[in-house]
Amino acid sequence: MSYNFIDLFCGAGGFSKGMENAGFTCIGGIELKDVIAQTHKLNHKKSHTISGDIRNIPPEKFAEIIGTNHVDVIIGGPPCPTFSTIGDAKIKSVTGKPTREDPRNELFMDYLKYVDYFRPEIFVIENVPNFITKYKGEIFNKAVEMIESIGKTEDSPGIYEVEKPVQVLNAVYYGVPQTRKRMMLVAHKKVGVHFKYPKQTHYYDQEDETLKKTLKKAITVQQAISDLPTITDNWRISECPYSKNSRLNEYQKLMRKNNKTKLVSNNICRMSNERAKKVFAHMKQGDKYMDLPKEVRSILPFREDIFQDRLKRIVANQPCWTVIAHIGMDGYMYIHPTECRTLSVREAARIQSFPDDFVFIGNQQDTYVQVGNAVPPLLGEAIGHSIYAYLNEIKSTSNEEIR
């Protein structure tokens, strides 16, 4: 079966990439920032990706752009920065206003306008886990209520139902070398068929012995990046060959599978100042800033009541902690496991499960932010396979009824 989808608030396209890997075709995307939209367009050849504010783009206009009003699936993560801990604190410090008043909290309403217009079979809203509980669940409950009211009339109870309970999925359990939790709200038409969330494929921090025996081990940082080109932090060559081409592990083979050029792009990192490098040299894998002796911390002093984990060195034989957009600022929370530098854009992309043929457009900070804001493609693929199975079950049930 062939199914299409559109990606609202698409970013660079991690979720889109995962859906395409699961067998879907991306026919359209909307992204606010132009350089990020260019990345999505470059990596999703059949997508009519546009740059603009969704609040100013009526769904009818978007239907003209993509050339159809038939959409099987809608995906997207309406940005709600006040739901994340870091975003909430930053907004408070910059604006001085209660974050509850931030208009971006309700961008999901614009997403639902597209759902109401296109009436897809199924759609997914992804966000940080706090989307469910923030403001005592007020916005989450409002979203669910609005979803269930789409198409509601005196004679109809509404078109859509939310698959409950809404689940929070950890990317590390789906083959991503990173612990990253995302809320996945899935809603679909009331057709008597229920969506099934993807089953866990990898184990990491669970004590369940059955899982340990039946699932694969979580992918580590070492497994994810050890074949990438050897670089220094002043490396500025845009494309260079792999440092290792034999005895590759399964994850490395997967990341390199469609890279026809045999060269690696975006494998550059920020230049750290000399004081930072001196501190890096004192850090063991797993060390945080406050683990260091005071005399070492004095080399690169920070507010110690606020920035206790300002620097963190990654552990090679474990999955990484969550890669966030702040990696675009200085990368100090992502110090390479064995080298005195921070992660490169490509290393961060590998940890996010972006394949090596996925190229990021923009300056260095742009590309880091694109990686940090993305849904890991392998997590998107896991959701995509479940959506594909759901749609096929609908088709099968419909055909049975016809017969």
Distance of CA 174 to the CA centre of its chain: 13
Residue of 52, 9, 3, 50 lying closest to 24 (CA atoms)? 3
The partner residues of 161 in beta bridges, in order of sequence, read 188
Active site residues: 80
Count the alpha carbons within 13 Å of 366 in the hemisphere toward its beta carbon: 14
Residues recorded for the chain: 403
Please write down the HEC assignment for all residues of the chain.
Answer: CCEEEEEECCCCCHHHHHHHHCCEEEEEEEECCHHHHHHHHHHCCCCEEEECCHHHCCHHHHHHHHCCCCCCEEEECCCCHHHCHHHHHHHHHHHCCCHHHCHHHHCHHHHHHHHHHHCCCEEEEEECCHHHHHHHHHHHHHHHHHHHHCCCCCCCCCCEEECCCCEEEEHHHHCCCECCEEEEEEEEECCCCCCCCCCCCEECCCCCHHHHHHCEECCCHHHHHCCCCCCCCCCCCCEEECCCCCCCCHHHHHHHCCCCCCEEECCCCCCCCHHHHHHHCCCCCCCEHHHCCHHHHCCCCCCCCCCCCCCEECCCCCCECCCCHHHHCCCCCCECCCCCCECCHHHHHHHCCCCCCCCCCCCHHHHHHHHHCCCCHHHHHHHHHHHHHHHHHHHHHHHHHHC
